[in-house]
Structure 1
């Protein structure tokens, strides 16, 4: 009995339904994030809407300060500064690339952090909004512009994008929905804590941090869309490459000439006949 070796199976592609859900989720995050950001920007420029809450929220948090909360939120805001988050993101991406021998997802994380820093700096200079009164600053003077909050923006992008990339690296079939929900809930909670620290320590208005949350959602949506498009393109290319490689399989070459397809056997017989003719 001949042992026939099977051709290698093509790599599993994510189901079409999963890809569609991923694209809808990315589009939803992008639209929601952009809506929040532009709504906050309009409120700031017109000094209406959510901007009416800026002063009351600021005054209430300043009046409620206590030593324990101050120590905790000071540590949070120190660790999540834009420079710190950029460095942490680059180091984590480097470790990921070396450990997993993968470049795409670490590059997505680094690219998202770099885009966050650039977009935040650009918007700050375009809007030119001043910070609250310096007398309420708890960590010393800061003459940077206020809108949006770089701490909140950077932390939100880092946590949300990292959460998505970790879940995506495990595969859509192996990750439970509850795990995804808990992961993104933790990322959202971490972002809220950073936003609270900026309000509590007196460096930002409420609309500053809300606009940053919207921007973080939008950047996360772009990252998910980019990763989903790459996965879809790779999935389409895989069957073509597999079909090309399977034209002549090891199973066929392992068979004797009598058992091979007629066309191949005929070509060998013709070649032998041609050699005999020239002798």
Structure 2
């Protein structure tokens, strides 16, 4: 009777091929995110490449302001401030832990948010880039440094990591793809709000998107390693033999 019982954590583990796909996807996010970030940093430091678009994009958005867009994007940028993202993330993680009685996934979310804040603060002080002109700020003064955008970075990590923790291995591929697309779209809207309201340059928010992809990739790798190392050796060997015979 006891031998017929299975550890629910083992039965819920994804197949070996699925794990490989997750690892490749995570590695792709990490590499792509790093490439985007370092490309933006090089452009900012050399004042070349996409940095040439910083001024025109800023001026164009300032000139296109209207009451409806201002109201919507002000609400977006207020809710996704680093402070509110931290509060929302911790509240969600605590509620998740209490309701589901699990620690790992809520801890991953909190760890990702904490890493985002630390990395953003470090890079800001290392790059030491000034914001656009304060006369274009729509929500009052902000003396923080510009590169990268903390709003975009934090929202991007929060949304993509949350989607991964909710749907990975639990939803169909189409559903998962749509969920990740929605998370990415949400991060883009946050980035647009920072540009529209006058607080960041284009390269600031693009670098932040790259960092968000990279952090999400790290989270997925960490979670995948935990799952794979938690499998019994006999189970992994059996699955590999099954794969070889197919």
**CA distance in structure 2 between the partners assigned to 1:108 and 1:143 by the alignment:** 31
**CA distance in structure 2 between the partners assigned to 1:18 and 1:109 by the alignment:** 22
**CA distance in structure 2 between the partners assigned to 1:89 and 1:77 by the alignment:** 16
TM-score, structure 2 as length reference: 0.92
Corresponding residue number in structure 2 for 1:64: 64
Pick from 177, 181, 184: which aligns with 1:181?
177
1:224 aligns with 2:220: yes
Q: How many residues align?
A: 233
**CA distance in structure 2 between the partners assigned to 1:116 and 1:238 by the alignment:** 38
TM-score, structure 1 as length reference: 0.81
Q: Deviations over 1:223-260 (max 9, x none)?
A: 000000001111236959xxxxxxxxxxxxxxxxxxxx
**Over aligned residues, Cα RMSD in angstroms?**
1.5
Structure 1, unaligned runs of 5 or more: 241-279
Structure of greater Rg: 1
Q: Structure 1 residue 9: deviation in Å?
A: 3.7
**CA distance in structure 2 between the partners assigned to 1:143 and 1:216 by the alignment:** 23
**CA distance in structure 2 between the partners assigned to 1:118 and 1:204 by the alignment:** 19
1:8 aligns with 2:5: yes
Corresponding residue number in structure 2 for 1:213: 209
Indicate the SS of the match to 2:140.
coil
Pick from 186, 190, 194: which aligns with 1:190?
186
Corresponding residue number in structure 2 for 1:36: 36
Q: From the superposition, tell whether residues 98 and 46 of structure 1 become closer, same or farther in structure 2 (CA, over 3 Å).
A: same
Q: From the superposition, tell whether residues 5 and 156 of structure 1 become closer, same or farther in structure 2 (CA, over 3 Å).
A: closer
1:201 aligns with 2:202: no
**CA distance in structure 1 between the partners assigned to 2:164 and 2:226 by the alignment:** 15
Q: Structure 1 residue 18: deviation in Å?
A: 0.4
1:97 aligns with 2:93: no
What is the 5 A alignment of 1:129-278? 129-168=129-168, 172=169, 174-236=170-232
